[in-house]
Amino acid sequence: MLLIPCPFCGLRNEEEFTSGSEADRHRPADPIALDDQAWVAHLFERANPKGAVREWWWHGRGCRLWFVLERDTVTNAIKVVP
């Protein structure tokens, strides 16, 4: 079980959180201009890295804050993003 550092509540156990997947994926600025491949890239494709990932977490069963963490997907070591 992961211990996840919520910026508001401190270290809490994983069961209180929901993973929100990779961070830094932004809604396209001009959706009308996108072709199908660009939509696929935005909607479906993931870097899915083996190693460091920046990702969203939601403290849904706590303070309900969304925040970004950096985690290593091999060791599960978590770094708080300043």
Partner 1 sequence: MAARRYSIWSLIRNALAYHEGWARAWRAPEPKPAYDAIIIGGGGHGLATAYYLARDHGIANVAVLEKGWLGGGNTGRNTVTIRSNYLRDPSIRFYEHARRLYEEMSQELNFNVMFSRRGQIDLIQTWAKLRDARRRSLSMALVDAEYEIITPEEVKRRVPLVEIDPTARLPILAATWHPGAGIARHDAVAWGYARQADAAGVDIIQNCEVTGIRRDGGRVTGVETTRGPIAAPRIGVAVAGHAGVVAAMAGLRLPIETVPLQAFVSEPLKPVLDVILNCPALHVYLAQTDKGELIIGGAADGYTSYAQRGGLHVIEQSVATLIELMPRLKRVKMLRQWAGMIDLTYDTSPIISATPVDGLYLNVGWGSGGFKAIPASGEGFAHLLATGRPSPLIQPFGLDRFAQGRLVLETAGASNRE
Name the residue among 74, 75, 62 with its Cα closest to residue 6: 62
> Cβ 16 to Zn ion, closest distance in Å?
8
Which residues inside 15-54 make contact with Zn ion, applying CB under 5 A?
none
Instruction: Name the residues that contact partner 1, by CB under 8 A.
Output: 1-2, 13-15, 18-19, 21, 36-37, 39-41, 43-50, 53, 55, 71, 73-76
Sheet arrangement for strand 52-58: 18-22, 52-58, 66-72, 78-80
Q: Of partner 1, Zn ion, none, which one does residue 8 interact with (CB within 5 to 8 Å by kind)?
A: Zn ion
Written as six digits, the tokens of 41 are 């890239």
